[in-house]
Amino acid sequence: MRKDKIYVAGHNGMVGASIVRFFKRKKNINLLLKDKKDLDLTNQNSVQNFFKKEKPDQVYLAAARVGGIYYNENYPADSIYENLTIQINVINAAFLNGVKKLLFLGSSCIYPKQTTQPIKEERLLTGKLEPTNEPYAIAKIAGIKICESYNRQYGKSHNIDYRSIMPTNLYGPGDNYHLQNCHVIPALIRKFHEAKKKNKPYVEVWGTGTPRREFLYVDDFAGACHYLMNIDKIKYYKKTRPMCSHVNVGSGSDLTIKDLARTISKIVKYNGSIQFDKSKPDGIKKKLIDSSLMKNFGWQSKYKLDYGLRKTYDDYLLRVNKEL
Q: Catalytic amino acids?
A: 136
DSSP code for 2: P
Longest dimension (CA), the chain: 65
Q: Alpha-carbon distance 129 to 109, whole Å?
A: 8
Residues 6+ apart with CB under 8 A from 310: 267
- Distance of CA 238 to CAs 244, 267, 304, Å? 12, 44, 31
Cis peptide bond prior to 186, omega within 30° of 0? no
Q: Alpha-carbon distance 61 to 139, whole Å?
A: 13
- Which amino acid type is present at position 52? K
Q: Alpha-carbon distance 256 to 214, whole Å?
A: 9
Q: How big, in percent rounded to 5, are the helix, strand and coil portions of the chain?
A: 45, 20, 35
Q: Alpha-carbon distance 84 to 64, whole Å?
A: 9
